Amino acid sequence: MLKYLILLFLIPVILLSSCGHDNPKPNPIGAGFRFSIYGHNRDRGPAYWVSVAERMADKFPASMAMGIWIIGEIEGNRAHLNFPGTSDDPNVSFGKTDDNEAALSYFDTNNVQIWLQVEPGDADMLKVIDLVLSRYGEHPCVIGFGVDVEWYHSQGDKAGGRPVTDEEASAWMAAVRAHKPSYGLFLKHWDFGWMPPTVRDGIVFVDDSHQFTSMKQMVDEFTAWGRHFAPSPVAFQYGYPDDRIWWEALKDPAAEIGSAILSDIPNASALYWVDFSVLEVFPPS
């Protein structure tokens, strides 16, 4: 009798503990856009990008409006940052005007979370991280820093890049967190081999592969990416024009592709429709 009384006492305790802080609900995913100054005909202003992020997020229950804001574009072997500044690194150049401040301020007040991304070339990444986050890190919308590894020590304007070592990834992560401990780092490519072999802490792995023949081929490849990095978070860019041959036949491409990704990849943390075709799928209201 005593053992049954003990069991009756323990069962509700076990049930309560399983519903408590030891088993938190997974974080909501991010959903939104990828922005660059070269990815669309002309910038329609931050209100348009907020609208895209909100409409994208509305397609996935409990998701957060989010965007990738490309702040540094490859220019030969240099990272060209689109704001005024100075650096002793000859592989960093700057714009004459600030192309980001107004947009980031608008995102601050409209609940859109933003990753600041660069295409690095041969630039010293520790210096670039400090330049970018020193200038924009106080914006509440900013949640971290991203590197497009496709352009890391690439040969001129030829994409491909050089694989990131564990030591480099750890140093970049530390530099990002030195600005704010909650910041994350994302690394983007389409090939596992270009990612750090073992370092995972704080990193989101973004797949921007395209040129697929079908949605199934895309989801299969993205699923392999998710499994490779599990349980670390992964994210995906999609909507490229060279995939239009199949996605334009879908009733709601952003939602249908995203839902297929989420159903197969439990560690998917964010979905981004790319700016190259954004006006087709998210026309200005």
Distance CA 71, CA 112 (A): 16
pTM of the model: 0.89
- Flag whether 11 is in a domain: no
- Flag whether 12 is in a domain: no
Q: Which is nearest to 254 in space by CA: 230, 226, 283, 229?
A: 283
Can you give the residue range of the structural domain that contains 90? Answer: 33-281
* Burial call 21-49: b when 16+ CB within 10 Å, e when fewer: eeeeeeeebbbbbbbbeeebeeeeebebb
Distances (CA, A) of 272 to 14, 235, 238, 263, 265: 40, 8, 6, 16, 15
pLDDT at residue 156 in the model = 61
The partner residues of 79 in beta bridges, in order of sequence, read 74, 92
Residue-wise pLDDT tens for the chain (285 aa)? 434 333 333 333 333 333 333 333 356 899 999 999 887 656 789 999 999 999 999 999 989 999 999 999 999 999 999 999 999 999 999 999 998 999 999 999 999 999 999 999 999 999 999 999 999 999 999 999 999 999 999 876 566 789 999 999 999 999 999 999 999 999 999 999 999 999 999 999 999 999 999 999 999 999 999 999 999 999 999 999 999 999 999 999 999 999 999 999 999 999 999 999 999 999 998
- Flag whether 121 is in a domain: yes
Q: Which is nearest to 119 in space by CA: 163, 173, 166, 81?
A: 81
- Flag whether 17 is in a domain: no
- Flag whether 128 is in a domain: yes
Residues constituting the chain: 285
- Flag whether 239 is in a domain: yes
pLDDT at residue 42 in the model = 63
- Flag whether 154 is in a domain: yes
Q: Decide: 31 and 63 in contact? Cβ < 8 Å.
A: yes
- Flag whether 122 is in a domain: yes
Is the peptide bond prior to 120 cis by the omega test (within 30 degrees of 0)? no
The partner residues of 273 in beta bridges, in order of sequence, read 33, 238
What CATH number is associated with residue 228? Answer: 3.20.20
Structural domains in the chain (count): 1
Q: How many helices (H) and strands (E) would you count in the chain?
A: 9, 10
